[in-house]
A = this chain, B = another copy of it.
Amino acid sequence: MPNKKYLDVRCEDCQFRRNSLFGALCTEESTRVSDAKSCTVYKKGQVLFHEGTRPLGVFCIYGGKVKVYKLGSDGKEQIIRIARESDVLGYKAMISEDEYPVTAETLEDCTICFLPKSDFLHLVTDSPSFNKRLLQSICHELGVMSNKLTNLAQKSVRERFAMALLMLKDTYGIDGEESEEVEINLTREDLANIVGTATETLIRLLHDFKEEDLIETRGRKIVVKNPRGLAKAARL
């Protein structure tokens, strides 16, 4: 109810549109998407889609953070990314006609638009500019993945944690603005599942970084105080 106003936002007026995949749409296409989409408020902890299910459409985040993770054989979550405003989720498996390889779950109350499968796919085939944007974005993402893979394989937990903090600083910061003080709001367990380590190990590193004046904690929240120091700790 308090968020009801969001439900009326149309893509054409959406402040995030040009940053998102849908930035490549012309006015007419944007209007059609807007007519086809629906917008919903999700509670913290709700699942947008489940690993192993078939895609029915795509999700575009208007407000809030979403964790995208994969379950390992022993049930442990490996967080692949933290998605934020303007991010579009759930289209890759749709295009490749696979089951979802990952699960998407809200980390806080979220406002998220849903565009049905057929509308999205028509966009892919009928809008050359959208098609190009999509292709470029995905290809770029694959390069980023090679990087992540290499870091995970070769860097220590400490280094990976430093990297994760820098990444999260961006995710939790306001787009475009630098210097702003950013509070990262995640459970220790989620943090550990990003870095790929045990919760206890992560907490000990948190302690170390605090002593080294790289970060500051406010309750569960973490503030990056010294990004350059973190970059050094990550050997970047």
Q: Quote the shortest CB–CB distance from A69 to chain B (angstroms).
A: 8
Q: Given the complex, which residues of B lie within 8 Å of A143, measured CB to CB?
A: 92-93, 96, 98, 101-102
Inter-chain CA distance A142–B154, complex, in Å, is: 21
Q: Given the complex, which residues of B lie within 8 Å of A177, measured CB to CB?
A: none
A204 at the interface (CB under 8 A from B): no
A136 at the interface (CB under 8 A from B): yes
Q: Is there an interface contact between A142 and B138, defined as CB atoms closer than 8 Å?
A: yes
Q: Given the complex, which residues of B lie within 8 Å of A135, measured CB to CB?
A: 95, 124, 131, 134-135, 138
Q: Given the complex, which residues of B lie within 8 Å of A138, measured CB to CB?
A: 135, 138-139, 142
Q: Is there an interface contact between B196 and A154, defined as CB atoms closer than 8 Å?
A: yes
Residues of chain A from 43 to 90 with CB closer than 8 A to chain B in the complex: 70-74, 76, 78, 80
Q: Is there an interface contact between B139 and A93, defined as CB atoms closer than 8 Å?
A: yes
Q: Is there an interface contact between A142 and B145, defined as CB atoms closer than 8 Å?
A: yes
Inter-chain CA distance A148–B80, complex, in Å, is: 11
Tell me what chain A mostly uses at the interface: helix, strand, loop, or mixed.
Answer: helix
A141 at the interface (CB under 8 A from B): yes
Residue of B nearest to A81 (CB): B146
Residues of chain A from 160 to 193 with CB closer than 8 A to chain B in the complex: none
One digit per residue, 1 when the CB lies within 8 angstroms of any chain B CB and 0 when it does not, for chain A 133-160 equals 0111111111111111111111100000
A235 at the interface (CB under 8 A from B): yes
CB < 8 Å neighbour of A136 from B70, B96, B101: B96
Residue of B nearest to A193 (CB): B153
Inter-chain CA distance A132–B126, complex, in Å, is: 12
Q: Given the complex, which residues of B lie within 8 Å of A27, measured CB to CB?
A: none
By CB atoms of chain B within 10 A, which of A72, A125, A135, A148 has the most? A135
Q: Quote the shortest CB–CB distance from A39 to chain B (angstroms).
A: 25
Interface CB pairs A-B, < 8 A, 6:
A72-B155, A78-B154, A91-B139, A124-B135, A131-B131, A131-B135
Nearest first, the 6 A-B pairs at minimum CB distance are: A153-B196, A101-B143, A96-B139, A96-B140, A72-B154, A78-B150
- Residues of A with Cβ closer than 8 Å to B? 70-74, 76, 78, 80, 91-93, 95-98, 101-102, 124-125, 128, 131-132, 134-155, 196, 235-236
